Amino acid sequence: MKYLYLVAALILFINFGKTPKASLVLLDGNIVTLKAKGDRAQAIAITDGNIVAVGPDAVIRTFIGDSTKVIDLKGKTVVPGFNDVHMHPAAIYTFDEPYAVLKLDTVTSMRNLIALLKKKAAITPKGMLIRGVGYNETKLGGQPIRDSLDEASTDHPIQISHVSGHLSAANSYLMDLNGIDENTKDPAGGAFERYHGTNKPDGICKETAAGYLHRSKKIIEPPRPTEAEEMEGFRNFFNDVLANGVTSIGDAWTTPEKVVVYRKLVAEHFPMRFNILMGTPYANDLITGKIAHINTPYLRIEGVKVIQGNSLSGKTCWLYEPYDMINPVTGKKDYYGIPPARSQASLDSLFLRIHKAGLQIAVHSNGDREIDMVISAMEKAQKADPRPDPRHRIEHCSITNQGILDKIKKDKIIPVFHCYMYELGDKMLVYGAKRMAMLHPTKTAMDMGIIYALHSDAPISPYPAMIRLGSAVNRKTKDGGIVIGGNQCIGAEDAIKAYCYGGAYCTFEEKKKGRLIPGEYADMIILDNDPTTIDPEKIYDIKVLTTISGGKVVYQRPGI
């Protein structure tokens, strides 16, 4: 291998008369290139934001000039910057700002939840909506029904969303304001949980039912941040993402207003690469050109996010066989989840319209019955209007079987698997051992030669690269140490490849990023340990020391 690197350097010398000087050089490292499994290099040279050479120190030193910045890695490990192709970025604001949404993923008891909401209510004008995201009923000891939220405030409407993003809990103030009572019927694709033995909704609103919480015109919404405050909030968010080893992200449901934010960030040369999936309501704007198609190194808008199905961790996705749990309504194991609101015919029509426009389709789908609907619609669109390489995606692609994977391979669909067993694995037990063996089937898909990506779905699970890597490798819950689908565990290098190369393949950029080879973007992270050789249980503890994006150091861990 080292001779190939020497030949590459000789070609450069012949072409330029002398070795071109680099803007940045990294020496004496353990560089995981992903060029081939097990491939490692010692040093890397970067110019104009791209990698120009990878090889031994002796070769790469020839790229050092008077103005070259040199980083002595001292044996530390370098991997490509992670590409989290499916997340939901949100601006970070301070607690006391009226538009700040409470982060609830770390709240560990109902008592603490109520105390936090009370604290927010104390600084919020009466009648103004209080919002929170990411509650976990397992940590709380139960669902935060309206009775619990009423303890926080009866003078404010309160809405908090589940860690899955597919359930919302509301207090009585908000339920009454929207006229949700015993006579309110469950909408298509959703359901109101009700007090046992009655028709009275208890405040837990599943899937489309949560939309009823916004029907009243009497709701006093928090004021919007100013443009400057909003931009600073998004910079805060993305700077933290960079500090945690992620250099490319996919926003998996974007609005026209948010497109404006991304365009501003790119215009000010913010060092994050953004791939944008427009939400379904805005698909026509993208199809007609009202929202411009963009394909640049830092901003790409060429896809549409569709939701066809429900939640895995929220226990609402639609299955062929019943959940391995007692249905609280019937007392039997006869709960199959909630069917999608959109029919097969409607899905077929939507996919064909997006497909014909030459756009990429990325579909949220978790249950096996939902996934089969999605695959069928993709096949029909391709048959009606053949395209050589559409790379349509199934986001999460959770409850699968061999038949589903066979169709995914045949149709060259990209599964974008979750890897959140670390935080939410305990919620998978309701699917039973048989289904867990094919839940997010990373090992089976890899063995079949299916190219796939991994993602955080943040804030559903946290985005730090090493936490997500550890979860993909170990598939073990954080608190109980339960292994979920252990037959689907993959090695660290394979998981890095899925996050980096697989993520790039998702967005047609596999020749531009995702590996550390000449000609690709110089996006990489320096780690304090090697995830491919360390005890897999300790991957979560690996620290990101430095993040490099476009050949520039954009994060340096304090104290190193």
Taking only the tens place, the pLDDT of each residue in 267-282 is: 999 999 999 999 999 9
* Radius of gyration (C-alpha) of the chain in whole angstroms: 24
Average pLDDT over residues 442-469: 97
Alpha-carbon distance of 84 to 504, in angstroms, equals 10
Do 146 and 54 lie in a common domain?
no
Q: What is the pLDDT of residue 2?
A: 45
Last residue of a domain, one of 163, 186, 214: 214
Do 326 and 422 lie in a common domain?
yes
Taking only the tens place, the pLDDT of each residue in 458-484 is: 999 999 999 999 999 999 999 888 999
Beta bridge partners of 32: 40
Average pLDDT over residues 242-265: 98
Do 24 and 168 lie in a common domain?
no
Question: 387 — phi, psi (to 5°)?
Answer: -125, 140
Beta bridge partners of 305: 279, 362
**Cα-based distances in Å from 31 to 28, 54, 138, 525:** 9, 9, 40, 10
Taking only the tens place, the pLDDT of each residue in 140-149 is: 999 999 999 9
Last residue of a domain, one of 498, 514, 530: 514
7: pLDDT strictly greater than 50: no
69: pLDDT strictly greater than 80: yes
Residue 98, number of CB atoms within 10 A of its CB: 17
| CATH number of 443's domain | 3.20.20.140
Do 156 and 278 lie in a common domain?
no
The verdict on residue 396 lying in a domain is yes
Do 232 and 145 lie in a common domain?
no
Alpha-carbon distance of 359 to 242, in angstroms, equals 28
Number of domains forming the structure of the chain: 3
289 CB-near residues (< 8 Å, 6+ apart): none
Q: Which domain holds residue 499?
A: 228-514
pLDDT band at 329 (very low <50, low <70, confident <90, very high): confident
Q: Give the torsion through C-alpha atoms of 111, 115, 118, 122, to 10 deg.
A: 170
The verdict on residue 207 lying in a domain is yes
pLDDT band at 559 (very low <50, low <70, confident <90, very high): confident
Do 140 and 18 lie in a common domain?
no
**Cα-based distances in Å from 383 to 11, 362, 378, 410:** 46, 18, 9, 13
The verdict on residue 157 lying in a domain is yes
Burial degree of 119 (CB within 10 A; 0-12, 13-18, 19+):
middle
Taking only the tens place, the pLDDT of each residue in 351-399 is: 999 999 999 999 999 999 999 999 999 999 999 999 999 999 999 999 9
Do 56 and 113 lie in a common domain?
no
The verdict on residue 86 lying in a domain is no
200: pLDDT strictly greater than 90: yes
The residue to which tokens 């973007």 are assigned: 521
Average pLDDT over residues 444-466: 97
| CATH number of 204's domain | 3.10.310.70
| CATH number of 64's domain | 2.30.40.10
The verdict on residue 321 lying in a domain is yes
pTM of the model: 0.92
The verdict on residue 206 lying in a domain is yes
Residue 542, number of CB atoms within 10 A of its CB: 22
Do 197 and 316 lie in a common domain?
no
Do 242 and 267 lie in a common domain?
yes
Average pLDDT over residues 251-262: 97
Alpha-carbon distance of 494 to 459, in angstroms, equals 24
The verdict on residue 69 lying in a domain is yes
Do 208 and 239 lie in a common domain?
no
Burial degree of 482 (CB within 10 A; 0-12, 13-18, 19+):
middle
Do 186 and 309 lie in a common domain?
no
Do 191 and 52 lie in a common domain?
no
The verdict on residue 26 lying in a domain is yes
Last residue of a domain, one of 214, 237, 268: 214
335 CB-near residues (< 8 Å, 6+ apart): 322, 323, 325, 327, 329
Q: How far is residue 416 CA from its own chain's centroid?
A: 9
- How much is the mean pLDDT over the chain? 95
